[in-house]
Amino acid sequence: MPTDHPEVSARLQAAGSADLGERVPLDQIEIGHCARVTEVDAGEADIEQLMAMGVCVGRRIMLMQTGDPMILKVLGTRIGVSARLARNVRVQPCLGDMFGEG
């Protein structure tokens, strides 16, 4: 899968395209990487709280800082999400993470 960006091509060759589709818990992505929310497995109150902060299925987010709370960039705004809530969010890494786009 050729691209105009050598970093992306190198990552695709090293990781393989199947790895880019892997879904992982939000608390397992690396700082500065972006991901798209694919699932929120939580109770109704937690889902509502996450949605109020902009964290919902289909949303592109970026991990800015680990810890409790972890800091996410969502729609250009930084928010704090507890580690407990973050464990309930599954994400799929996206290619934009290499360029700081989120």
Q: How many domains does the chain have?
A: 1
Let me know if residue 69 belongs to a domain.
yes
- Determine, yes or no, domain membership for 80: yes
Tokens of 43: 């109770």
Q: Is residue 75 part of a domain?
A: yes
The token pair at 39 is 């699932």
The whole-number pLDDT of residue 16 equals: 37
Confidence at residue 17, expressed as pLDDT on a 0 to 100 scale: 35
8 Å CB contact between 39 and 53: no
Residue 3 belongs to some domain of the structure = no
CATH code (residue 69): 2.30.30.90
Residue 22 is predicted with a pLDDT of 84
Domain extent, residue 87, equals 23-99
- Rounded to whole angstroms, how far apart are CA atoms 6 and 27? 28
pLDDT at 21: 65
Please check whether residue 70 lies inside any domain of the structure: yes
pLDDT at residue number 69: 95
pLDDT in tens, the chain (102 residues): 444 444 433 333 333 333 456 899 998 899 999 999 999 999 999 999 999 999 999 999 999 999 999 999 999 999 999 999 999 999 999 875 444 444
The answer as to whether 5 is a domain residue is no
In a domain, 48, yes or no: yes
